[in-house]
Structure 1
Amino acid sequence: MFKYKMPKGTEMTPKLIESLMESHKAEKTRVMQLFEYYENHNSILNRKMKDSDKPNNKLPHPYAAYITNLATGYFVGEPITYTVEADEQAQKFYDELQSINKYNDEPKHNATLAKYASIAGYSFELLYTDTSKKTRYKAIKPYEVVYIVDSTLEEAPLYAIRYYDLKNFETGKSDTYVEVYGQKEVTYYVKRDGEDNLIKTTDSVEHHFNDVPVCIYENNEEGIGDFEKVIHLINSYDQAQSDTANDFEYFTDAYLAFYGTEGPVDSNDNEDVDMKENRMLIFPENGSKAEWLIKNINDTATENYKNRLDRDIHKFSMVPPMTDENFAGNVSGEAMKYKLLGLETLTGFKEQSFRMGLARRNELIANTLSFKNQVINKNLPTYDYTVIEPVFTRNIPKNNKELVEMFNNLSQDVSHETRLTLLSDIVPDPKAEIEKLKKEEEKEIQKGVTYPEQEGDIDGQEQ
């Protein structure tokens, strides 16, 4: 459970905080395990053999990181852009918002939020004011936050509790620090190592965001990570590859069996009976011969099994193997779309939830900017965050040759600006490009040079 429901008006007491933190332990354990898989600390690393002399290869495979990185890169590898309504107040808010986003390195921050959501199924963002009085936002590890909403259908945020341990390297003890974010203020607590109760460290501090300054970005409605459903398949693949390595090690350390002989002797004419050290077995019955004792491996069946696991991991995570020959560089753009249909479906769910998180971030920023403006002048209007709309662009390889052909073949009923948007890799800003074309045309006219005829006017209108 990553959301806790409570009635409106619930007071956050130290006893309630501790109870929520205790209830959150199971979810924290789940999320921390998912982060371990992302770091390739898979369960195969914990495998132990009853016989310590047997080979015990442990080969974890970073499927989790591959799935998360590819899904995240496809989703927000291209920075999110924004459109704004044609209104002076809206433009003013947009300019201030973009300044804040630039100050916070928004593209990198969004990528971190999307990555955390891909791993854990959701991510959290904390907004605060730094020592320079500037608005900041920071991605928080999901296992550090208890998110409380009201019990209505709206599920409006009531509180967010962030808790984490810090080790005192002088004493060797770890204390738990707790931050409780409400709709008006933030309160700080600490629980000392060996003590039972939370201690309030300072008076509550107003944050001026006029709401809980923590945004949630859900990966999907269920809060499930992108590789969480295929973890057991990853474990099976790790085990299969590790056992294959064990079989090869068995083959390398095969025993040499002697039949009908007392076996070799050392330089002192003593029979060598150290079976494990010399990898030999002595059978003194009749019929002299020697042969290697090896384990027969059905290599074809083993490889088929591993290949099937690999296909299932990609199929059920909906993240394709990009090294597959089906993704060769000569594949057309339309064919590529069909091959990425599963990933596109997955990303569609991500976008819907991420859009809600961005809207809440913009709302909180609008609240704090409006507060600052009205401190200066109470007659200044408040900002409306709904005038900003995010635009998501998939990070997919583009066939520029196809795009240029499409640009040339489009009907003149389509404006020149719209046609230029097809060439985003070549022309990142169509409006600026049109202005450049107009200036070039004016210069050519001033020189008395006939400007090349256009199929349509620069702004897309008929001549």
Structure 2
Amino acid sequence: MSDTMTVNNFERDLDYNNHTGIMTNNYINIDYRYGGTNDDLLNDLDTLGKFTEHHISYQAPRLRILSDYYQGKTFNVKKRSTRRADKQMADNRAAHDYAAYVADFINGYFLGNPIDYVVEDETAKEYIESFNDLNDIVSHNRSIGLDLSIYGRAYEYMIRNDKDQVRIYKTDAESTFVIYDDTLEKNSIAAVRYYPASSIDVEWSEGELVYNVEVVTDGMTYYFTATSTNNYKPKQRKEPAAHAFNKVTITEYRANEFRIGDYEKVISLIDLMDSAQSDTANYMSDLNDALLLLIGNFELPTNAAELQKTARIMKLEPPTYETDDNRTTEGHVEGDYIYKKYDVAGAEAYKNRLNNSIHMFTNTPDMSDENFGGNTSGESAKYKLMFLEQRAIIKEGLFAKGLRRRYNLLESIAKTNSELDQSVNLKEMKYKFKRNLPKSMIDELTAYINAGGQISQETLMMLFSFIPDVTLEMERIQEEQQEKQKALENSRPDIYAQVGADNAQEEQ
């Protein structure tokens, strides 16, 4: 199935029609379930091929559309193939970057501040910190969070490399999926990751599509090849490789129970805004090419009209005629442009309604709104972001679920390799999420001091961005104080000599 078929269906909620029959939109975001073990699945390559074929044909196109919108490749710009009927009219196409604005804002609010990992065992704490530093876990979490905002899902692959390092990588959400069992626990049976066997994009191919497929189970990674001409039934590409994690090493994260991206529900509104702004641009362009209407009893040679148009000057000579009293009188000539009348106020009100609806339904603030200005305090911002906070709470619970699975995998491999004591239980580790909100530092500091709180000079310096190196600044202050002390001693040596003698006598 081609992408062009699925794009229009996705936008307009139409049915899909391919060789398997009619499939509605309910099938483009389903979980894959299998009523058997991973061994049963690996012996049932036809079913495994059907899962892969379905993902390529139905799930991947939807996910690709969501990615396109994040990159500004909206339907109005990328997919609309027909231009306006009148070829003499302008055909401007505007794209609004709402998708990236929504995804980046929500991800920054949710994961802009690093997650704190709270564990009591010191050995486990050091091991986790080492693992997090090795994998730049702060950036990795934000990358996972961005996929959650775009796709409503994200995938993380944990491996132990040839350097005996445990590494995690984000895998492409457009070509990764997990197969679960049919129990209430919904355990992972296997995870599938596929990618084109050729470095040339598969969209360029007009013939057979060939993919490399990796199937990861709780103890092995299997390597297959799958082709479109064989219904993507896997064929072994090389010998499988064992791993010691004792679980499927690809973890799926979810933004919500339905795996819906943060801007997915407002794509139709984004399209309407693109169309409205494009119409405005086309109107302004067409106005420059409006038809000139000349009314009067006169003649204007064609060559003269062309010359005057080039010079952007129109000189009209009205006809003259004799009146009954033998007086010469000039006739009347009028000139005006003919163009489609444009309701400026109505059009702008319509676009404002679309803009407001997009922000309302994505729970994101409109930063161009004067009511959400730079003077908004952190506490005031909390009230304005109340509905976004509800969305973040849902995302936080599901993200923590993925984190628990991540560190459960880490615990398993660490104990297998005797890097952690068997008594360590990382399930007890707590995760603290900190919202990335604007803060009024002066208000907080004033309230703290007024309540009787005390703060060290070093901590105070750390609050201000214009002090790049607090330790160096403390050393400079100490040097300045020592120089001032020496200057005072040199200015009144008699007094400071007596003070030194008195101190020495007291010490005796």
Shared topology, TM-score over 0.5? Answer: yes
Corresponding residue of 1:306? 351
Whole-angstrom distance in 1 between the partners of 2:440 and 2:299: 70
CA contact (8 A) 2:377 2:438 kept: no
CA contact (8 A) 1:148 1:157 kept: yes
CA contact (8 A) 1:78 1:394 kept: yes
Matched, 1:122 2:153: yes
CA contact (8 A) 1:100 1:135 kept: yes
Could you say what secondary structure the match of 1:128 adopts?
strand
Corresponding residue of 2:26? none
Whole-angstrom distance in 1 between the partners of 2:300 and 2:395: 69
Matched, 1:40 2:72: yes
Corresponding residue of 2:34? 6
Change over 3 Å in CA distance of 1:288–1:191 after alignment to 2: same
Change over 3 Å in CA distance of 1:242–1:425 after alignment to 2: farther
Could you say what secondary structure the match of 1:203 adopts?
strand
Whole-angstrom distance in 1 between the partners of 2:410 and 2:298: 87
Equivalent of 1:19 in 20, 38, 50: 50
Change over 3 Å in CA distance of 1:370–1:150 after alignment to 2: same
Corresponding residue of 2:141? 110
Query: What TM-score does the superposition give when structure 2 sets the normalisation length?
Result: 0.73
Change over 3 Å in CA distance of 1:400–1:359 after alignment to 2: same
Change over 3 Å in CA distance of 1:117–1:424 after alignment to 2: farther
Matched, 1:265 2:301: yes
CA contact (8 A) 2:99 2:263 kept: yes
Matched, 1:140 2:177: no
Corresponding residue of 2:468? none
Could you say what secondary structure the match of 2:167 adopts?
strand
Corresponding residue of 2:93? 58
Whole-angstrom distance in 2 between the partners of 1:38 and 1:299: 30
Corresponding residue of 2:482? none
Change over 3 Å in CA distance of 1:426–1:289 after alignment to 2: closer
Equivalent of 1:219 in 230, 251, 255: 255
Could you say what secondary structure the match of 1:296 adopts?
coil
Corresponding residue of 2:183? 152
Whole-angstrom distance in 1 between the partners of 2:228 and 2:265: 37
Change over 3 Å in CA distance of 1:423–1:202 after alignment to 2: farther
Aligned-residue offset at 1:8: 3.8
Query: What TM-score does the superposition give when structure 1 sets the normalisation length?
Result: 0.80
Change over 3 Å in CA distance of 1:151–1:411 after alignment to 2: farther
Corresponding residue of 1:386? 427
CA contact (8 A) 1:128 1:136 kept: yes
Residues 326-360 of structure 1: per-residue CA shift (max 9 Å, x gap): 23233233222111112111111111110100110
Q: Identify the range of structure 1 (102-111 vs 138-147) with the bigger mean alpha-carbon deviation.
A: 138-147
Q: Which runs of 5+ in 1 are unaligned?
A: 281-285, 428-432, 441-463
Equivalent of 1:181 in 216, 220, 228: 216
Could you say what secondary structure the match of 1:163 adopts?
strand
Residues 347-398 of structure 1: per-residue CA shift (max 9 Å, x gap): 1111111010011000001111111118xx9xx5254221321111111111
Of Structure 1 and Structure 2, which has the larger fraction of its residues in helix? 2
Q: Percent identity?
A: 29
Q: Which runs of 5+ in 2 are unaligned?
A: 1-28, 315-330, 465-470, 479-508
CA contact (8 A) 1:2 1:147 kept: no
Aligned-residue offset at 1:244: 0.5
Q: Identify the range of structure 1 (160-169 vs 304-313) with the bigger mean alpha-carbon deviation.
A: 160-169
Change over 3 Å in CA distance of 1:164–1:262 after alignment to 2: farther
Change over 3 Å in CA distance of 1:41–1:261 after alignment to 2: farther
Aligned-residue offset at 1:50: 2.5
Matched, 1:28 2:69: no
Aligned-residue offset at 1:265: 2.2
Equivalent of 1:81 in 107, 116, 135: 116
